[in-house]
Amino acid sequence: MATGETGFDDVGYDLISVQYHALKAGHDYGQYVRDAENAGKREIADFFRRVMEEDSARAKQCHEFLKELATSGDAGPALT
């Protein structure tokens, strides 16, 4: 698998990027839930909770894929 100058292959970098953005968004969604609850918009707060759960699951799946890449030897030196 080809690696860039950082030692990360494209797939590893992509997974890390998706994981980072999912985790960062999850942090922001907590505020969105509070905002909706404070506005009395329970349905919207529930929507933000679902989105937060989906991003949490997405980040976890990225983590699992990264572990697989690290143990397969296909990830380049940055993940092994």
**Is residue 5, in this structure, part of any structural domain at all?**
no
Question: Are 10 and 56 contacting, i.e. CB atoms less than 8 angstroms apart?
Answer: no
Mean pLDDT across the chain, nearest whole number?
86
**Is residue 1, in this structure, part of any structural domain at all?**
no
pLDDT bin (cut points 50, 70, 90) of residue 70 is: confident
**Is residue 68, in this structure, part of any structural domain at all?**
yes
Q: By C-alpha distance, which of 22, 24, 29, 28 is closest to 62?
A: 22
Q: Residues 7-19: what's their mean pLDDT?
A: 85
Cα–Cα distance list, 65 to 12, 45, 59, 72, 75 (Å): 9, 30, 10, 11, 11
For residue 75, pLDDT over 80 is answered with no
Question: Are 6 and 71 contacting, i.e. CB atoms less than 8 angstroms apart?
Answer: no
The whole-angstrom separation of Cα 53 and Cα 58 is 9
pLDDT bin (cut points 50, 70, 90) of residue 16 is: very high
- Count the domains in the chain: 1
The answer, as to whether pTM is greater than 0.85, is: no
Owning domain of residue 25: 10-72
